[in-house]
Amino acid sequence: MKAIPITGHTRIFGLIGHPVRHSLSPAMYNTLFARFEIDAVYLAFDVDPKNAQKVADLIRVMGLDGVNLTVPFKEAVMPLLNTTTTAAAEAGAVNVVIQTDGELVGFNTDGEGFIRALSEEAGPQIEGIHAIILGAGGAARAVASGLLDRKAARISILNRSQARAKQAASALKASFPDGRIDVGPLDAKAFGLIAGSAALVVNCTAGPAAPTIGTFEPKRLGGPQATWVDVNYWMAVPPAQTRCEDAGVRFYDGLGMLAHQGALAFELFTGHPITGAELLTFLRGQK
């Protein structure tokens, strides 16, 4: 790999969110830029959530070519963009923004990235599945959208805020009118009531919910294909991992999803295709 010196012509990409200092994205993308000898740099921008309405202006004014968005900006930035893709509209969130001549286009690669990672990791058959989604934010909606697009039979959203869960379900229903989508509180009792018919759990909640998630019983999940995915790849020990291992439930961290959505984003940024499998090998070495 050949490192290209940073000059006034170097294209700037980055991650916007809060917090972002734990992110593996700068190492991942800068390694790819060097590999393909692309004159670009990728930085992490930790932005105060109070400035959510200024994020789009930041991208335009600073001349950023493209950014990844993470919490808490995936939903807040949508109305501030010039246009969004169908996948972003279905998810109600964007995680990639590309700028061309001041025009901002929003994409969502989270849902497709999750589906590709699940397939690569030999996860359960999606068509006809009952999946429990923990959380109701942008990542949760993107994952739910990806599952519904592949004919999942039922999506159950468990979230601390019932109003937010119902809002997410309503938005998903608008895109998938034939989908069965229900909501419930984020607690062990609600989980236990529906777990028997579910073969997939995806934890999309933030860190503060970890103690609650740790009280859930993965052994209640139905069938030999039962799988638990926690998208919080940076957590040393995700809250349900030990219980899943004890119960014989397959457990995956979020690195697969990060790798596959990152591969899709890199192609949007540069036009260079890269496989999620290649990125996953790199990320495993970084963790």
| Residue 6 within a domain | no
The dihedrals phi and psi of 156, each to the nearest 5 degrees, come to -110, 120
Answer yes or no: do 267 and 235 share one domain. no
Within the chain, which residues score under 70 in pLDDT?
1-3, 287
Question: So what's the pLDDT on residue 2?
Answer: 65
Please, are residues 273 and 130 in contact by the beta-carbon 8 Å criterion?
Answer: no
Rg, Å, the chain Cα set: 19
Say which of 74, 189, 219, 287 is annotated catalytic: 74
| CATH assignment of the domain containing 182 | 3.40.50.720
Number of domains the chain contains: 2
| Residue 23 within a domain | yes
Answer yes or no: do 30 and 161 share one domain. no
Answer yes or no: do 90 and 123 share one domain. no
Cα 215 from chain centre: 23
Sheet holding 11-17, edge to edge: 40-46, 11-17, 66-69, 96-100, 103-107, 83-84
Report d(CA 194, CA 82) in Å as an integer: 40
| CATH assignment of the domain containing 102 | 3.40.50.10860
Buried b (16+ CB within 10 A) or exposed e, 118-149: bebeebbebeebbbbbbbbbbbbbbbbbbbbb
Answer yes or no: do 55 and 104 share one domain. yes
> Which SS3 state, helix, strand or coil, does residue 71 take?
coil
Per residue in 169-214, pLDDT tens? Answer: 999 999 999 999 999 999 999 999 999 999 999 999 987 899 999 9
Report d(CA 65, CA 104) in Å as an integer: 10
2 is catalytic: no
Answer yes or no: do 241 and 119 share one domain. yes
Answer yes or no: do 53 and 170 share one domain. no
- Containing domain of residue 45, as a range? 11-108+260-286
State the angle between helix axes of 276-286 and 110-120 in degrees (0 to 180), rounded to the nearest 10.
Answer: 80
| Residue 249 within a domain | yes
| Residue 4 within a domain | no
| Residue 1 within a domain | no
Question: So what's the pLDDT on residue 235?
Answer: 86
| Residue 125 within a domain | yes
